[in-house]
Structure formats: C-alpha cells, structure tokens
Structure 1
C-alpha cells in the first residue's frame, strides 16, 4: 500500500480526476462539453504516463459483449427492486437521467467514442494498472473501485456512487483477470448502449 501512495503519477492523476469531475458535475448546462473535455485530458494523461499497450486477447470480444449485457441486467434488476420496494433511490435515478442522459446526436457519439473508452483507459488502464504493480489482483479491484466511486461524490447523488461501485467491481475484475483494456472498453460501451440508447431504465 505504501508503494501505491508513493506513486506520484497515480496520486496526481487521482487529484486531477477529482478536479475535472467537480467542474463537470457543477456545470449542468454545459456538462457534456466539460465532461468530454475532461475525458480527453484523462486519456492524454494516461498515454503520457503509460506507454505499454495490453497484449491481444482473442476472447475479449465475446467476453466484453456478454459482460456488458450481464452488468446491464444487474442494473435492471436493481432498478426493478427499487421500484417494487418504493425506495427513494427511484427519484435519484430519474433525476440523473434527466440531467445527464444524452440528448443530441453528438452526445451519443462522444459517449461511445470518448467517454466510455476514456473512463476505462484512465481507471483500469492507468489507476488499476499502476496499483497492480504493488498489490495483488483482489486488492487492485477493491482499491481502484473505491477510488472510481469516490469521484462520483461530486454529482451529489448516492445512486451514482452505488452504480460506480457495482460497475467498478465488474470492470476491475475483468481487467485483473485478462489484463486487456480493449475488453473493459467494449464491456463499458455495450453497457452504455443498453443503458442510454436501447433499453434505458427511465
């Protein structure tokens, strides 16, 4: 753990993402512009600090699609239970869809081409990858997931933190298992397409 804390590039990257997400979530009217720019900055930061590319994996395509569908299924089930039990989280889900769901054509393009890949490139391809250098796989999954969820506090919505914890565990486990960034990027894209385009929960 000391090696993780002493990793200056990791610590600076974590501070950077907090600053970027703080500004993104606090500028609702121009959220998509700032969030897209933030992802481009994080992708650039990762490229500058991580030059090694993950090796090819012939199975990543099928696993990526199936894991994205399975994760959507978990979210669908969770939403159904929240609705059935009439929990107050239902209002938070609707609020998040109203505030941050894609509306314009370019929103969908950047979601698939920049935002989903950018999140995985930074959180799994940079943060978790660096944590893995000094910890075991389970610790890397737990720690990177907690860090991933922590930046969602800037949204002010507990349900988004819970969603990040769930997604973080799944994508973190996939990366620790296969060590292939293409796999988690594909999984994230499939999940986002189902959640925001084909089968939105609200």
Structure 2
C-alpha cells in the first residue's frame, strides 16, 4: 500500500529541488546564496519526511569517511584523465564549470561544509533514497536517487559533471545503505570536496 503522504512529499520535494536548482544555476552572481537556500529547503524536507540514521561510533565514521572521501576523489581523478581522450570541448566544459562555480572565498567553504554538503546528504541519501526503498529494492533505490541527484545538475550545462555526480551518488548511496551512518556520509562528502577544491584540485 502506498504511503500517500510520503509519496506526495517525495514528488513535491523533488519538483521544488529541481526548480530551485534551475534558478540557482541561472543566477551565477548569487549562486552561493541561492544554493545555500536550496539546501536548507532540502534539509527541512528531509527532517520532516524521514528519520536519519547514525549507527557508527565517532571514530569509525571519521576514519571511514576519510577513506571513502579520498577513494571517491581518486576515482574522479582517474575519470578526468580519461577525459583527455575525449574532444577538447569536454575539458573546456570542466574548466568553465570550475571557473564559475568552484568556491573561491572562505565564506563559500563555510557554506559548503556546514550547509550545502549536509543538506545534499540529508536529502538525496537520507530522504529520497530511503523513501524510494518503500517501492523498490535497496539497489534500485540507490540507482534511482543517484540518477535524480545527477540530473539535478543538468541545468548547469555541466554534462560531464552530471555523469560524475551519478557515480558519486552511487558510491555515497551504497555507503549509506551499508553503514547506516549519515555523519559518515557527510564526512566522506566533505573530504571528497576538500581534495577536489583545495588539496589536489583537478583543474
């Protein structure tokens, strides 16, 4: 039997998430403000419609978060090397996206680590993935939420990034399904983006 409240909440939240993301990426000058607002909305939806899990001790989720964050970065690094085999337009697309939307100020990183990353994990893994499990198997739920997560970036015009977002979504989705720890996912996501933007930038 379909949980009508959950289903309606799922549909409305997804529609608004895509609309807000579209508005965000079409306003480059206020991107960080709009995207922070979007993820605050996603966080509110997550807490209203779902129960987030935390079944690991602090040391465990910190350790495994670092391991999976670095591992995800290395996977993306290898993927970017393959882009060198593609037409130059692909690498130009990557350079353009990072040049416009990558964090460049301290307050960008504060918003990223304390609002945006937790909000994305709460919504896409904690809410969407868990909600879809009401109708599909865990594997299909991970794939579905990951495709939706990647598709939300289509409006940015960063189509290579959509592919990478789906892959990252699958990794983090599998991680949440297996470890049942939202803090672990958040730490892994933070470490991944720290590597991506600060430690060993890909561009």
Query: What range is the shorter-chain TM-score in?
Result: over 0.9
Moved over 3 A (4+): 84-87
Native 8 Å contact 2:55 2:179 kept in 1 = no
Q: Residue 128 of structure 1 aligns with which residue?
A: 129
Q: Residue 184 of structure 1 aligns with which residue?
A: 185
Q: Residue 155 of structure 2 aligns with which residue?
A: 154
Q: Residue 95 of structure 1 aligns with which residue?
A: 96
State how far apart, in whole Å, the 2-side matches of 1:46 and 1:39 are. 10
> Once the 2 structures are TM-superposed, how far is the Cα of residue 134 of structure 1 from its aligned partner?
2.9
Native 8 Å contact 2:24 2:35 kept in 1 = yes
Residues 48-102 of structure 1: CA deviation (Å, up to 9, x unaligned): 222x341331332222111110010011111122125554311111001101011
Where structure 2 has 5 or more consecutive residues not aligned to the other structure, the ranges are none
> Once the 2 structures are TM-superposed, how far is the Cα of residue 180 of structure 1 from its aligned partner?
1.7
> Once the 2 structures are TM-superposed, how far is the Cα of residue 103 of structure 1 from its aligned partner?
1.1
Q: Residue 55 of structure 1 aligns with which residue?
A: 54
Q: Residue 118 of structure 1 aligns with which residue?
A: 119
Q: Residue 82 of structure 2 aligns with which residue?
A: 81
Q: Residue 69 of structure 1 aligns with which residue?
A: 70
Q: Residue 22 of structure 1 aligns with which residue?
A: 22
State how far apart, in whole Å, the 1-side matches of 2:55 and 2:156 are. 36
State how far apart, in whole Å, the 2-side matches of 1:93 and 1:166 are. 16
Residues 119-165 of structure 1: CA deviation (Å, up to 9, x unaligned): 10110011001112332211111111111111111111211211111
Please, what is the CA RMSD of the aligned residues?
2.0
Question: Normalising to structure 2: TM-score of the pair?
Answer: 0.92
State how far apart, in whole Å, the 2-side matches of 1:9 and 1:180 are. 23
Question: Normalising to structure 1: TM-score of the pair?
Answer: 0.92
Aligned in 2, Cα 1:49/1:3: closer, same or farther, shift over 3 Å?
A: closer
State how far apart, in whole Å, the 1-side matches of 2:18 and 2:92 are. 25
Q: Residue 170 of structure 1 aligns with which residue?
A: 171
Alignment of 1:6-17 (within 5 A): 7-17=7-17
How many matched pairs?
201
State how far apart, in whole Å, the 1-side matches of 2:110 and 2:55 are. 26
Native 8 Å contact 2:22 2:155 kept in 1 = yes
Native 8 Å contact 1:116 1:192 kept in 2 = no
Native 8 Å contact 1:141 1:173 kept in 2 = yes
